[in-house]
Structure 1
Amino acid sequence: MEINNNNPNNISSRTDRKLIERKRRNHMKALYSDLNSLVPHNNSRESISLPDQLGEAADYIKRLQTNLERMKQRKDSLISGGQSMNIASSSTGFSPKVPQIQIHEMGSSLVIGLTTDTHSRFIFNDTIRILHEEGADIVNASFSVVGNTAFHTIHVTVGELTPDYQGIAVTRIAERLNKFIYDAHA
């Protein structure tokens, strides 16, 4: 039995296979290029062979997985560390630092000193929120951490108000902040 290579069906199917193979190769080349663009490179100007590029990508993925596992473990230890600190503080009698606030009035400006422990991060955010709700303009906010204590300093202007209303606004802000700090500790 003789195969006729000149059969139009054979030529068409061969052309189709070649076209399909060319599309597959181009698609794979595009995928390799995308993969290669995602992997950080050392600044070598020489071109790297495809197997070496794939090896670098595999190594990079393994490093990312290792880093992810390490970060998950660190997160878990930080979360459990915070819980164990709360358990330890209740069993040993050690309690977190009581938040304190000092408010100093200087004309239309206020300087607010806030002292908290480093585990009470929400107190600073809520203090800023209260100041915004009261219409105060925050000029500067800074903090420093010493040991387990965070010291926050917030400079605020109450605005262009009449002196009578300014005193009322300052008093209202001070009352709200003191109440908030008291409630946060209770």
Structure 2
Amino acid sequence: MKKMMSSSSEASKLDRKMVERNRRIQMKGLCSRLSSLLPPPHHIKSSKDMLSQLDQLNLAASYIKQLRERGEELKGRKEQAMRIGSSSDTINDKMKIGTKLPLIDLREFGSSIEVILITGLQKNFMLSEVLSILQEEGAEVVSASFSAVDDKVFHTIHAQVRISRLGVETSRARQRLQDLVF
């Protein structure tokens, strides 16, 4: 009887070890995936300077905080732009706003790129052309969305660098996008 309890105790220990081992493997995979989603830290110069898991988690937390702040800033700018568009009563005010369109803003966040394009309803262009320009310049489009408010169309495109060591030539991409839109 004692031998049976001993073997069941050993089996239980082995089960716990396997469960713990699987948990650690899963956590390592999740941390690796999280790390791959972050822009590369600029202060690391060689593979010897690799970040610990704790440093990677701290970096992820600060990156998420930056993205939230950036999202709030963009949301505020969008609301302000919408207020300006809807609150102006005179034709001259609307003409001034109309002359500013289309607007194009291309921003680089490490290995991520964000393109914000604001056009009027009368300006026609193919979104596929914008996406192909980004792809030709070395970016992989992750998401694209648009919304129409009054006489303005807001396009937001998120992309990531396809090959990190080559990067994306953002100035050339910006110029090509401006040539397309204007």
The TM-score normalised by the length of structure 1 is: 0.48
